Amino acid sequence: MADRFANRRRITSLDPERDHVEIMRVSSGYEFPWDYVRSLEFALFRTYCVPSISALLAKTGEFERRPQRRYDDTALLMAEMVEHGYDSPRGREALRVVNRLHGRYEISNDDMRYVLSTFIFDPIEWITRYGWRPLTDHERLAAFHFYSAVGVRMGIKELPPTYSAYLAFKREYEEQHFTYSDTNRAIGQYTLDLFCSWYPAPPALTSRAVLAMLDGPMLTAFGFPAQPAWLTRAARTALRARATTVRLLPPRRTPRLTNDPKNRSYPGYPTGYRPADLGAP
């Protein structure tokens, strides 16, 4: 029988700073691929609680015209860097696309620092709650070092120097900037509608299930209604039940990062595509 914890032992044998690229590749591609995707969906959702971020997205019109493609662009560009490394040819190409897209707009350094922080800490929080095993300290630190290195290559200034300092920055930023705005509501609704389009259940049911997963500050910033406590408990119980099942499965033999044949915007990706093909024209 395959060893379910072989990857965990390998991860803990590596150095979380020196080997952060490899740790991220194994952790997100083999150990928790589904969890990383789901958590980053909610991480992006979370950033739209900041009025300056939602206002920029509303101004571009991308979420109104083609929310699915914008989501796929972001997810695949990040996945390219995780799967191949940010200094690999495909990783550098993905970074050039990210920097080109961001360079079109005036985005504050603090907003950039905040969005990057959600890529570090939201998956950690999700997997802590719903993962099939606890994350190791190596995985947590590797995520910090990985995205800090990405941030440097994106030209983001004054990145917090330690894991704890960056987490403190994220929490303080949310406390100061999560507030309701009409653009929050608009971008939030586009995103909620996008989530509902992915599942066969009636949109009203999916919408309520998604809202049940949002915390109080997010609901307030979006102006969305709070859901009954029983629905939140049911959603969380279902995710924990999934984790119990996944724990019993054999380890994944192939990574699941960019190779999603069912990608809605880029069918068969990455076959026939380059990172330069991603992003708004």
pLDDT at 34 over 90: yes
Q: Per-residue pLDDT averaged across 135-140, rounded?
A: 98
Inter-CA distances, 216 with 33, 102, 124, 222, 269, Å: 27, 30, 19, 10, 36
Where residue 179 falls (left for φ over 0; alpha for ψ -120 to 50; beta otherwise) is beta
Nearest to 135 by CA among 251, 35, 43: 35
Q: Per-residue pLDDT averaged across 167-175, rounded?
A: 98
Q: Is 139 helix (H, G, I), strand (E, B) or coil?
A: helix
> Tokens 């300092």 identify what position?
165
Round the average pLDDT of the chain to a whole number and report it. 95
The residue ranking higher by pLDDT, 156 or 66, is 156
* The amino acid at 55: A
Nearest to 153 by CA among 93, 110, 208: 93
- The strand ranges marked E within the chain are none
Residues 270 and 68 sit within 8 Å (Cβ to Cβ): no
- Predicted model pTM: 0.95
Alpha carbon distance 86, 23 (integer Å): 13
The string of pLDDT tens digits covering residues 172-202 is 999 999 999 999 999 999 999 999 999 999 9
The distance in angstroms from the start CA to the end CA of the chain is 49
The string of pLDDT tens digits covering residues 74-118 is 999 999 999 999 999 999 999 999 999 999 899 999 999 999 999
pLDDT of residue 113: 98
Q: Is 207 helix (H, G, I), strand (E, B) or coil?
A: helix
CATH number of 6-179: 1.10.490
pLDDT at 280 over 80: no
Alpha carbon distance 190, 168 (integer Å): 30
Nearest to 121 by CA among 164, 153, 83, 155: 164
Alpha carbon distance 186, 242 (integer Å): 32
**Cβ count within 10 A of residue 10:** 14
Nearest to 231 by CA among 243, 222, 223, 219: 219
Q: Per-residue pLDDT averaged across 11-18, rounded?
A: 98
